[in-house]
Each structure stands twice: as C-alpha cells, then as structure tokens.
Chain A
Amino acid sequence: MFQYYFLLGVRSLRRNPVLTALMVLILAIGVAASVSTLTILHVMSGDPIPGKSERLIVPLIDNGPLKGYTPGEREGDEMSYRDAVNLLASGQGDRRTAIRGASGTVEPARKDMPVFTVEGLTPTRDFFAMFEVPFLHGGAWSEADDKAGADVVVLSSKLAEKLFGNANPVGQRVRMFGFDYSVVGVFGKWNPVPRYHRIVGGPGAFGDEDEFYIPFHNAIRHEMGQNGNMNCSSDRGPGYQALLDSECIWIQFWFELHSVADRPQLQAWLDAYASEQRKLGRLQRNAPNKLFNVMEWLEEQKVVGKDSRLSAMLAFGFLILCLVNTIGLLLAKFSVRAPEVGVRRALGASRKEIFTQFLIESAVVGLAGGILGLLLALGALSLIGSISEQIAVTTHMDWMMLLVTFVMSVSAAILAGLLPTWRACQVTPALQLKSQ
C-alpha cells in the first residue's frame, strides 16, 4: 500500500503544477538556508581529531605581573620561553611540543625562480605524531636533531613540488632564512578545520596550511623573529637573550596524555611546577593553572563566531516561516480534493487510510524539496565560500549533513502536512456526495 500511495503522491505532484512547484521551491529554500548555515556551524564546532581530542591538552600558566591584576582576568593564551622549555623537559604525558610561528625567505636553487617568502611553524619532533601529520616522503626529524636544533626541515607537499618538482626531495638541500636546510620529510595535505593546533598566535582557526616545519630549538638557535602574536606585560631589554629570559608570552604548548585518567596527575604536576617557580619570584599572581583538551580549547577560544550562530538562528526562523507557508499551500491543495476523499470514504476507506495517503503525499513533496534544497545548499555554500576565503574551508558538506538535509526536509514536510491531512480526514462522505 505504501508503494501505491507513494506513486499516487508522485502523480499528484503534477496535478497542480504551479502550486506544487511553489511548495517544493519554498521548502527547498528553507531547507537550503538552514542546512548551509548548519554545515558551517557543524564544521566549525566539530571534533578535528576524534578519538584523541580528550588526550591532547593545552596548559596555561598565568605569568602576568601582580600590579594592577584583578583575579579572573588572564594574561594570554600562550606561554613564555622559560616555561615552554621547562615543560618540554618535564617528561609529563606521552608527548610534548612547543609551537611558535616563523616566516622567512626561500632562495630556490633554480635561477629562474625568484626569491619568495614562506610561513610555517617551529614545533618539536613529537608534534608530527601528536597531531597525526601524514607524511608522503621521509618523516619527522630525529631526537638528536630535535635537541641540537639542527638545520632540518619538513616541507608541505605544495612547497616541495614548487622547489623540487615531483621527485622525492628527502635528503636534498634548500636555502631558507639564509641557512642551508636539509629536507627530512614531506607531509601530504594537512590543514585541519579548525586549525586547532594553532588557533592562537597566528592567523586564527581558519587560516592557510603551514608550508614548513623546522625544529623549535633551531629557530631559537638562529634567533628567528616571532611570526605571530607576542604579548609582553613589562618592558624587556634589547636583544634575543632578553626575549628568552623575559615574561613575554609567545609560545603555544601541547601535551599528549597516555590516557584521559592521567589528567589529574598532569594538573598536580603543573601546580607543583608553578609553586616551585613562585619560590623563584615568578608567577606572583598565583592564578589557577589551567588545562584544556581540544574541545574545551575550541570552546574557550570561541572558534564558532557569533555571526555563525546568528546566521543559523535566523535561518531556522526562516525555515519555520517556510513550514507555515507550506501548511497553507497544502491546505489549499488538499481542500480542492474533498470530493475525492468523499468517494473513497463512501467506498469503504477508513480515516486512517486517508490519513496515511495524504501524509505520504506530503512526504513526497518533502523529498522533492529535499533534493532541490540540497542542490541549493551546495550552491549557497560555494557562493559563501567564494565571498570569504576564511569560511571557504568550512563549507564542505559531508555525509552527515547530507542525511540531515533529507531527514529535515521530509520531516518538515510531514509536520507541515499534519494539519491539512487531518482536515482532509474530517470530510463527511454523505455531504460531499450530495453536493456533487
């Protein structure tokens, strides 16, 4: 019976073509608007590294000056060089990395290619395993290179191709920042959305892919300037050593825990570390030391902007309007079919069967609206993506959203069909037959 009603529903789409087209279109627009805003929200607030996000931890230690401090405020989202080095040496967690930004010039060996600038990060060796960076060639630099801050570099596949073509560049030399680096690895496309490993300090959660990684201690050894934020609460002396000794915060730190259960232990260690530093005259604010896992960190950094929430809210308001509109149109469509219902009821169809038939017919409208809505949503997303580069990376639809689109559209249509269907069931067969 379902199949037969379904076919009837499809056929009835053609009965009032203008009315039906309007209904499908309005439902499609409503669904498209809410699905495209929902997709952006979904991608922005999604878990970028499922299964591991609870074990990757950002520690924050407040090292701001006591003067003018009101409890509750925080100096910043990064840490000083001193703390970063101490935490690296702490042995806490399975892995540790300190990240900061670096940018500089590349002088290609080929004379026909002009000098250009690149932007990347200076992590420690553990970074690649912690964030599951996929390698195409080679791999991370060695423990010894990490400690010594050797001139080794991991390139993005894009940069590697630009410099060396399609050949495997591992072992080759590239002149960067005025030094000769040897290539130890090339990573494939890796630009998580959001860029949770570097939301702070750089271009934000939706920036471009990193072009290279060099060892943290290498950038320090070459006295490379910081590419990104630096927050200094007090005046520091001139020179690089003064920066390293200062309380300026400019380095982001990550721990990887063996299991979630180790978190209290890390917290205890961090508190002990802070009170030890306090004895040395630092960290006078005595503010609570904080730990954030990936999802807490995204929440703390307000990765999902107010504008996205606003858009989603308005789009849902719009969907409700489309629903009310569809109720009206379905009412109109069904009301002209009272004679048909009268005949069917007189021939023995129960109210339940009429109800089922009309509801399935509404669902068919919903299905058509869903398909059109999906196309519209894809169009809208690519349009939004072309307007703003930053949002572009977040406008990819996944299977989850595809499913949501259909479920939303069909259930919206069924919901809208409830009242008109109920009205159709109220038809009194005798009265209808008499008036014909």
Chain B
Amino acid sequence: MEIKPIFSALMRSKTGPILVAVQVALSLAILANALHIVSVRQEVAARPTGIANEEQVFSISVKALNPGGHEQQIATQNSETAALRAVPGITSVANVNQIVLSRSGNYNSVAANREQERSTASPSMYVTSDSLVKTWGLKIIDGRDFTPQDVLEFDQKTSKAFPTVALITKVLGQKVWPDAASFVGKKMYYGTGAEAREVTVIGVIDTLETPSAAMGADGEMSTMVPARTSGSSRTLYTLRAEPGQRDRAMKDAEEAIRKLHNGQVVVHSKTQSEQRVNRYKADYALAWMLITVSVLLMMVTASGIVGMASLWVTQRRKQIGVRRALGARKFDILRYFVTENLMITTTGIVGGLLGALALNQLLVSKLELARLPAEYMVIGAAAFWALGIAAVYGPAWRAASISPALATRSA
C-alpha cells in the first residue's frame, strides 16, 4: 500500500535514515552481547554451593596466642566446640579446614589407581572432625556420613597419618570412575605412585562446591575426610543458627570464644552470604557496568530516533499540510511516520543481528566467551522494534496534529 512511496521518499535523502539505521545496528549488536554476558555471569553467581539455607550459616576462625602442644590443642578444640554449641540459637557446629566460596583452600590430586602416570582430577579436600554434612545440610545420595569412630586424630607437624575413608561429590565420582553405577566402596588414591594415600569412598554428596568455586565441573570437585588435627595456625568452625538468629548468634559465638581464652585470642567471623558476595564481586561489578551501558545505549538510540524524526516532521510541515488538506486523516499521517520508522529500524535490526554475530565472534576469539544463543538476538530485535515505535510516536503525533490550514497558508 504505502510502502512504495515511503521508500522512494527515503531514497531521496539517504543520510538521515542511514544514520538512524546504523545507530540501531550498533546498539543491537552491543546490547545482545551485553545481555548475554550478564545472564551468563548471573547464572554462575547463582550456582548452588550445596549448603542448604545459606543465610543461616557462618564461620568463625580462632587463633590462640599460646596454642600449646598437640594434647592441649585438641583439648582446646573440644572446649571451643562445646562453648560454641552452648550459644543459644546455634543448631549445629563443625570443625573444618576451609569454607566454600572463601577462595582459599586445599587441593589434592586424586586417582582411581596407584599406577596411573597422571592423577585424574584435582579436587578440593575438606577436613572435618564433626558432621560437616549435618551442619551444612549437604545431601548424601549414596552411602553414609562419617561416624565419630571414623575420625582420625593426629599432629600435622609430626605425623604422616591420613584417614582411610572419604566422601566425594557426584561430579568427582563420575570423573574418576566414568562407567561405575555406584562409587561407594571404591578405593581412591590421593596422589599417585608408592606414596599415594588409599581411602575408601563411603558416601557420595550430591553437590559441594570448592572454596574457589571455579567455572564448570571443576567447581564441584570436592572430597571430604574425617580428621581432627593440631598444628595449623588457626582453627576454623562453621556454624548453623536458627532462622533469623544468625547475626546475634555470631556475636555471641565470638564472645564465647574470647571468654574461653580470656581475651588471648584473635577471632574473625564471616557469614556465608558475605563469602558469596566477596567471591562474585567482580561478576556483579561487570554485570552492573553492562546493564548501565545497555540502558544508556537504548536511551541514546531512542534520542537519535526522536531527534531525526522531529527534524523530518519540521522539514515536511508543508507537505503534511497539503496531504491533510487533500483528505488524509490524522491516522494516515501517524501511520506514514511509524511505517517509515519501522522500515529504517528493520534495516538497522538486520544489520545489528549480523553485527551481534560478528562482535560475538570477536569476543569468542579474543576473550574466550560463550557463543551467543539465538534468543538474545530475538529479544534484542523485539526490543528495538518496540523502542523505535515508542520513540517515533511523539514526533509522529505532532506531525499528525499539524493543522492543514496553518501549514498551507504560510507557503
């Protein structure tokens, strides 16, 4: 119907429409990629650690000034645990060597066989003398948790002792024994060769992330062994409080430890939520930066469309007046401008989709990012169609409101 005359009008002055189309293309190319990166980061930051109800969990690190010898350190650990359990609102306490998402921890390579040349995986190793499974609410999908009889007690400084049983995560089991139906009862080795330590897998944990929570499967490769050791520079406990009691219980727990040591101690505590925020700080920052840029992109493009459309309306005042005088309705004028704009934005969107793919290709090759899924291009295209119509509506309405009598008279 009207497309042909609109098109030939566009072809008469190409610069303006080309500029608008280029803007749409550039913004769409950037927007689609930015949104994709944001959603990838959000997905990463929202991965479950395996800990149930994270907001109830916190950890407390204790560094005594005069830790004493092995016997004394073990006794101190027992009295510290008892003092923490006695804090009102605390439902569970476990001694542990490292905390999920804390970005600092132990990694020991493991193998299915002593004779292997290279180890199979390098999972993180949690060491606990209590039931970490209970405190963190981990899900055991096969086998059993440790019992107090499993816990091995030794001095890290003088002994080479090592526990004989271990829990592993499902992901680690699948990596070490790809074909096995069940991992319970399997023998696993820490290290390879004659010095490798043999443990028996007694249970499988559904999910437990490592302290660094790396991307992909590596972030869920964890093992857990039962031991109570002396000789490390600080003792770490993780605690679960009753719902809503965490902050108060954390303060009371710190106080209880200080009292136990008569103040001769350095105590630090941190909630699991803080650990999560710290771990993903860079991802959040990047996501915010990208969202800001995306919003600005849309605004700049919209202002470009409004600016150009307003200019055209002013330039064509006379013609609009003539058309109206010859019987065109307001709606016809409105439709003219909206159709014209749709043609321009569509051209821009086609260019933008190609641009988005090209930019994604560049990001993939230079920065090893993920490929852009088609839905982001669809969403981006739809967003710019809507934006184009919304932006042109104001100027188009002003054009439609031009009074034919006034517009033709001045000529």
Contact = CB atoms under 8 A, between A and B. Distances in A.
A419 interface: yes
Interface in B267-324: 281-282, 284-286, 288-290, 293, 296-297, 300-301, 303-304, 307-308, 310-311, 314-315
B118 A68 contact: yes
A332 B19 CA distance: 12
B289 A332 contact: no
A178 B369 CA distance: 49
B149 interface: no
A311 B291 CA distance: 11
B205 interface: no
8 closest Cβ contacts across the A-B interface? A68-B118, A332-B311, A328-B19, A325-B304, A321-B26, A388-B285, A306-B367, A235-B195
Interface stretch (A54-62, A113-121, A262-270, A405-413): A113-121
B157 A235 contact: no
Contact of B23 (A178, A321, A332): A321
Q: B-side binding surface: helix, strand, loop or mixed?
A: helix
Interface string A294-334: 00000000000111011101110110111011011101100
B15 interface: yes
B289 A311 contact: yes
B328 interface: no
A91 interface: no
Contacts of A67: 117-118, 192-193
Interface in B241-267: 263-266
A178 B68 CA distance: 12
Contact of B359 (A19, A317, A423): A317
B30 interface: yes
A239 interface: yes
Contacts of B157: 238-240
B34 interface: yes
Interface in A369-410: 384, 387-391
B240 to A, nearest CB: 26
B73 to A, nearest CB: 14
A235 to B, nearest CB: 5
A334 B267 CA distance: 68
Q: A-side binding surface: helix, strand, loop or mixed?
A: helix
B405 interface: no
Given A310-B363, A311-B286, A329-B304, A238 B158 contact: yes
A335 interface: yes
Contacts of B30: 314, 317-318, 321
Contacts of B282: 305, 307, 388, 390
Contact of B158 (A30, A117, A239, A310): A239
Interface of A: 19, 22, 26, 29-30, 33, 67-68, 103, 105, 107, 114-117, 178, 225, 234-235, 237-240, 305-307, 309-311, 313-315, 317-318, 320-322, 324-325, 327-329, 331-332, 335-336, 384, 387-391, 419, 423
B65 A178 contact: yes
A310 B286 contact: yes
A12 B223 CA distance: 71
Interface string B152-166: 000111111000000
B368 interface: yes
Interface of B: 15-16, 19-20, 22-23, 26-27, 29-30, 33-34, 37, 63, 65-66, 117-119, 155-160, 191-193, 195, 232-233, 263-266, 281-282, 284-286, 288-290, 293, 296-297, 300-301, 303-304, 307-308, 310-311, 314-315, 359, 362-363, 366-369
A298 B67 CA distance: 40
Given A309-B367, A310-B37, A315 B293 contact: yes
B290 A324 contact: no
Nearest to A106: B266
Contact of B26 (A114, A305, A317): A317
B281 A26 contact: no
A318 B296 contact: yes
Contacts of A327: 19
A423 B366 CA distance: 39
A116 B308 CA distance: 64
Contacts of A391: 285
9 contacts: A33-B296, A240-B157, A314-B34, A317-B359, A321-B27, A325-B304, A387-B281, A390-B281, A390-B282
Nearest to B61: A117
Contacts of B315: 335
Given A235-B191, A314-B293, A332 B308 contact: yes
Contacts of B366: 309
B300 A26 contact: yes
A387 B304 contact: no
Contacts of B289: 311, 384
B286 A325 contact: no
A103 B264 CA distance: 17
B218 to A, nearest CB: 17
